[in-house]
Amino acid sequence: MLATLALGHLPGEPSWAERMLRAGVDVVASGADVDTADTVALARRQVPFRPVKARPGDADALFAAGALLIETDGPVPVGAYRVGADEHVIALVDGASAVVEDPNVVARDIVDIARATSPAALWVVSTPGLHTLPAEIAEAKLAALAECAYRARLVFAKQQMDLD
């Protein structure tokens, strides 16, 4: 429910999987602008128990290397999940801004948006642009992204408990 991931690439070297795990993001990535089988394999080795998202490249090679999600508008292999522009995303963490979002404000916005559909069908994402920020700010924004989704999940869990 309300899985989190970062769209676009991240600053610096493509070795972001462990940082994304520390930030609490549900789907990790190498952070590369264009992933290769090697960058995906590194992310998979760094964090073997989280799904890995890859950026555009050879979709078959990326999937074979361990990417379960591929950020592309093109086709992906059977068994992979395509993350494209037409997905149901809640993009309230602005990757192009150096301001770290307030988790309470964004969680409230997520709850309001998610009420119109099933929260299980939504991705909570940062927009592309994090690669333009200092790594520390990008990591803080990813942590805010994870915290926003966590707080929204608590609201939905309470609502479900109140129904039972």
Q: Where are the alpha helices (DSSP H) in 47-134?
A: 59-65, 103-114
Which of 79, 21, 70, 14 lies closest to 50, judged by CA? 21
Q: What is the pLDDT of residues 47-63, one digit of tens each?
A: 999 999 999 889 999 99
Q: Per-residue pLDDT for 66 more than 70? A: yes
Q: What is the pLDDT of residues 10-19, one digit of tens each?
A: 999 999 999 9
Strand order in the sheet with 123-126: 3-6, 123-126, 89-93
pLDDT at position 88 is 83
Residues of the domain holding 115:
3-163
Q: What is the pLDDT of residues 14-46, one digit of tens each?
A: 999 999 999 999 999 999 999 999 999 999 999
Which of 88, 97, 81 lies closest to 134, judged by CA? 97
Q: Per-residue pLDDT for 120 more than 80? A: no
Q: What is the pLDDT of residues 93-104, one digit of tens each?
A: 999 999 999 999
Q: Where are the alpha helices (DSSP H) in the chain?
A: 17-23, 37-46, 59-65, 103-114, 135-163
CATH code, 61: 3.20.20.210
Q: Per-residue pLDDT for 139 more than 70? A: yes
* % of residues, the chain, pLDDT over 70: 99
Give the chain's domain count.
Answer: 1
In the three-class reduction of DSSP (H, G, I as helix; E, B as strand; rest coil), residue 87 is classed as: coil
Q: Per-residue pLDDT for 164 more than 70? A: no
Which of the two residues, 58 and 87, has the higher pLDDT score? 58
CA distance 108 to 149: 10
